Amino acid sequence: MSANTPEANIAMQALRQRMAGAQGPRFWRALEELADDAHWRETLHVALPQLVALAPMDRRRFLKLLGASLALAGLAACSSPPQEQMVPWLRQPEGMAADSARFYASALACAGDVCGVLVETHMGRPTKIEGNPAHPASLGGSAPALQAAVLELWDPDRSQTPLHHGMPATWDDLFAELARLSRGDGRGLRVLSGAIVSPTLAAQRDALLQKFPAARWHQYEAAGQGQTLAGTASAFGTPLQPIYHFDQAQRILALDADFLGSMPGRLAYARAFARQRKPPQMNRLYAVEPTPSLTGAMADHCWPMSHDGVGAYARQLAGVLGVGGVGDANVDDPSLRAVADDLRAHKGRSLVLAGETQPRPVHALAHLLNQALGNIGHTVDYIAPMQAAAPDDSLASLCKAMDAGDVQTLLVLDANPAYDAPADLPFARALPKVPQRIHLGLYRDETARLCDWHLPMAHALESWSDLRAWDGTASIVQPLIEPLYAGRSAHQLLAAMLGQPMDIRALLQSRWHAGDDEGWSRSLREGVIADSATAPTNPSAVAASVPASTTSPSGELELLFRPDPTLWDGRYANNGWLQELPKPLSQLTWGNAALISPALAAERKLVNGDVVELRVGERHLRAPVWIMPGQAARSITVHLGHGRRHAGHVGDGVGFDANALRSHRAPWREGDLQLHATGERIELAATQHHHAMEGRAPVRAGTLAEYLHNARFLQPDEPATPPSLYPPKPPGEYAWGMAIDLNACIGCKGCTIACQAENNIPVVGEDQVRRGREMHWIRVDRYYEGSAQAPHTHHQPVPCMHCEHAPCEVVCPVGATVHDAEGLNLQVYNRCVGTRFCSNNCPYKVRRFNFLQYADVKTESLKAQRNPDVSVRNRGVMEKCTYCIQRIQTAHIAADRDGRAIADGEIVTACQAACPTQAITFGNIADPHSAVSKAKASPLDYTLLAELNTRPRTSYGAHLRNPNPALEDDA
Amino acid sequence: MSDALDRAPLLAPGQSLAGVTDHVSDIVLKRPTGRLWLAAFALSLALTGLLATGIVWLLMRGVGIWGLDMPVAWAFAIANYVWWIAIGMAGTFISAALYLTRQDWRSPLTRYAETMTVFAVSVSGLFPILHLGRPWFFYWLAPYPDRMNVWPQWRSSLLWDFFAIVAYLIVSLLYWYVSMIPDLATLRDRAATRGRQVFYGLLALGWRGEARHWKRFETLSLLLAALAVPLVFSVHSMVALDFSEGLLPGWHSSIFPPFFVAGALFSGFAMAMVLGLPLRHWFQLGDFITPRHIDNLAKMMLAAGLFVDYSYLMETFTAFYGMDRYDVAMTMQRFSGAYAWVFWTTIGCNVVAIQALWWQRVRANRAALFGISVLVLIGMWFERFMLIVSSLYHDFLPSSWGMFYPTFWDIAFLAGSIGLFFLLFLLFVRVLPIVSMSDMRKLVHRLQEPRP
Amino acid sequence: MGQVFHPRFGLYVQLVLLAVLVSLVCGALVWRASTAEPHGVDEPVEQPVPFSHKHHVGDDGIDCRYCHSSVETSAFAGIPPLSTCMTCHSQLYTDTAALKPVVDSWRHGVALHWQRVHQLPDFVYFNHSIHVAKGVGCVTCHGRVDRMPLTWRARPLSMQWCLDCHRAPQQYLRPRNKVFDMAWQAKDQAALGMALVKRYHVDTRRLSDCSVCHR
Q: Is the model's pLDDT at A544 over the cut of 80? A: no
Helix and strand totals (H; E) in chain B: 17, 0
Cα–Cα distances (Å) from B209 to A254, B25, B212, B216, in that order, read 98, 17, 8, 11
Instruction: State pLDDT tens for residues A182-229.
Output: 677 888 889 999 988 999 999 999 999 898 998 889 999 888 888 888
Please tell me the predicted confidence (pLDDT) of residue B1.
Answer: 41
Tell me the domains of chain B and their CATH numbers.
16-448 (1.20.1630.10)
Task: Tell me how far apart the terminal alpha carbons of chain B are, to the nearest angstrom.
Answer: 28
Tell which C residues from 186 to 215 touch B, by Cβ distance under 8 Å: none
Pairing status of strand A350-354 against strand A281-282: unpaired
What is the pLDDT averaged over residues A274-301?
93
- Least-confidence region, from A270-279, A962-971, B143-152: A962-971
Percent of chain C past pLDDT 90, that is, above it, reads 49
Cα–Cα distances (Å) from A315 to A310, A327, A362, C147, in that order, read 9, 6, 8, 90
Pick from A75, A85, A86, A881 the residue to mutate for testing the C interface (most C CBs within 10 Å).
A86
| pLDDT tens digits in sequence order for chain B, 452 residues long | 445 555 666 677 767 778 888 888 888 888 888 889 999 999 999 999 999 999 999 999 999 999 999 899 999 999 999 999 999 888 888 888 877 877 777 888 888 899 999 999 999 999 999 999 999 999 999 998 888 888 999 999 999 999 988 999 999 999 999 999 999 999 998 888 888 988 998 898 888 889 999 999 999 988 998 888 888 888 889 999 999 999 999 899 888 999 999 999 999 999 999 999 998 888 888 888 888 888 888 999 999 999 999 999 999 999 999 888 999 999 999 999 899 999 999 999 999 999 999 999 999 888 999 999 999 999 999 999 999 999 999 999 999 999 999 999 999 999 999 999 999 999 999 899 988 888 888 888 877 765 54
Please tell me the predicted confidence (pLDDT) of residue A27.
Answer: 38
Confidence label for A230 from pLDDT (cuts 50, 70 and 90): confident
Q: How many CB atoms lie within 10 A of CB A934?
A: 14
Taking CA atoms, what residue in C is nearest to A883? Answer: C215
The answer, for A85 touching chain C at a CB cutoff of 8 Å, is: yes
- Least-confidence region, from A12-21, A317-326, B30-39, B284-293: A12-21
Question: Distance (Å, rounded) from C-alpha A40 to C-alpha A15?
Answer: 9
Q: How many CB atoms lie within 10 A of CB B32?
A: 6
Closest CA to A910 of A758, A808, A723, A695: A758
Question: Distance (Å, rounded) from C-alpha B158 to C-alpha A336?
Answer: 63
Question: Distance (Å, rounded) from C-alpha B30 to C-alpha B28?
Answer: 6
Please tell me the predicted confidence (pLDDT) of residue A590.
Answer: 93
How many residues does this entry show for chain B? 452
* Dihedral of alpha carbons A148, A150, A156, A162, sign: positive
Please tell me the predicted confidence (pLDDT) of residue A31.
Answer: 40
Question: Distance (Å, rounded) from C-alpha A745 to C-alpha A339?
Answer: 25
Please tell me the predicted confidence (pLDDT) of residue A415.
Answer: 92
Confidence label for A270 from pLDDT (cuts 50, 70 and 90): very high
The answer, for A689 touching chain C at a CB cutoff of 8 Å, is: no
- Least-confidence region, from A83-92, A708-717, A731-740, B296-305: A83-92
Please tell me the predicted confidence (pLDDT) of residue A394.
Answer: 86
pLDDT: which is higher, A911 or B92 = A911
Q: Which of A354-358, A496-500, A512-516 has the highest mean pLDDT?
A: A354-358
Cα–Cα distances (Å) from C144 to A807, B300, C51, C150, in that order, read 47, 75, 15, 12
The SS3 assignment for B172 reads helix
Question: Distance (Å, rounded) from C-alpha A521 to C-alpha A512?
Answer: 11
Tell me the domains of chain A and their CATH numbers.
6-79 (no CATH), 163-224+389-459+482-502 (3.40.50.740), 226-383 (3.40.228.10), 557-686 (2.40.40.20), 701-722+730-961 (3.30.70.20)
What is the pLDDT averaged over residues A698-723?
86
CB pairs under 8 A between A and C: 135
CB pair distance less than 8 Å for C37 and A81 = yes
What is the pLDDT averaged over residues C108-118?
88
Q: Is the model's pLDDT at A540 over the cut of 70? A: yes
Classify residue A667 by burial, with Cβ atoms within 10 Å: 0-12, 13-18, 19+. Answer: buried
Q: Is the model's pLDDT at A971 over the cut of 50? A: no
Does the N-terminal peptide bond of residue A93 adopt cis geometry, omega within 30 degrees of 0? no
Closest CA to C118 of C180, C55, C53, C164: C53
Q: Is the model's pLDDT at C7 over the cut of 90? A: no
Cβ contact B409:B58 at 8 Å: yes
Question: Distance (Å, rounded) from C-alpha B193 to C-alpha A51?
Answer: 71
What is the pLDDT averaged over residues A872-885?
94
Please tell me the predicted confidence (pLDDT) of residue C42.
Answer: 84
The answer, for A93 touching chain C at a CB cutoff of 8 Å, is: no
- Least-confidence region, from A202-216, A705-719, B73-87, C125-139: A705-719
Question: Distance (Å, rounded) from C-alpha A400 to C-alpha A412?
Answer: 16
Please tell me the predicted confidence (pLDDT) of residue A566.
Answer: 93
Q: Considering CB atoms only, which of C5, C10, C159 is closest to B148? A: C159
Secondary-structure percent of chain C, ordered helix, strand, coil, rounded to 5: 45, 0, 55
pLDDT: which is higher, B442 or C133 = C133
Alpha-carbon distance C5 to nearest alpha carbon in chain A (angstroms): 42
Does the N-terminal peptide bond of residue A280 adopt cis geometry, omega within 30 degrees of 0? yes
Please tell me the predicted confidence (pLDDT) of residue A49.
Answer: 43
Percent of chain A past pLDDT 70, that is, above it, reads 88
Please tell me the predicted confidence (pLDDT) of residue A545.
Answer: 64
Please tell me the predicted confidence (pLDDT) of residue A13.
Answer: 57
The DSSP letter of residue A812 is -
CB pairs under 8 A between B and C: 25
Please tell me the predicted confidence (pLDDT) of residue C96.
Answer: 87
Pick from C1, C3, C4 the residue to mutate for testing the B interface (most B CBs within 10 Å).
C4
How many residues does this entry show for chain C? 215
CB pair distance less than 8 Å for B198 and C4 = yes
pLDDT: which is higher, C192 or A515 = C192
Classify residue A395 by burial, with Cβ atoms within 10 Å: 0-12, 13-18, 19+. Answer: buried
Please tell me the predicted confidence (pLDDT) of residue A75.
Answer: 42
Contacts of B131 in chain A (CB under 8 A): 835
Cα–Cα distances (Å) from C152 to A64, A354, B227, B369, B426, in that order, read 39, 72, 54, 74, 60
Please tell me the predicted confidence (pLDDT) of residue A21.
Answer: 44
Please tell me the predicted confidence (pLDDT) of residue A59.
Answer: 47
Q: Mean pLDDT for chain A?
A: 86
Backbone angles phi, psi at A681, to 5 degrees: -145, 140
Q: Which of A71-85, A238-252, C39-53 has the highest mean pLDDT?
A: A238-252
What is the pLDDT averaged over residues A565-591?
93
Taking CA atoms, what residue in C is nearest to B185? Answer: C4
Please tell me the predicted confidence (pLDDT) of residue A50.
Answer: 42
CB pair distance less than 8 Å for A822 and C206 = yes
Contacts of A768 in chain B (CB under 8 A): 64
Tell which C residues from 25 to 44 touch A, by Cβ distance under 8 Å: 31, 34-38
Please tell me the predicted confidence (pLDDT) of residue A10.
Answer: 56
Taking CA atoms, what residue in B is nearest to C6? Answer: B206
Please tell me the predicted confidence (pLDDT) of residue A7.
Answer: 54
Question: Distance (Å, rounded) from C-alpha A841 to C-alpha B91?
Answer: 33
Cα–Cα distances (Å) from C79 to A96, A510, B299, C113, C155, in that order, read 13, 41, 79, 11, 20
> Which subunits sit against B, judged by 3+ Cβ pairs under 8 A?
A, C
Interface predicted TM-score of the whole assembly (ipTM), two decimals = 0.92
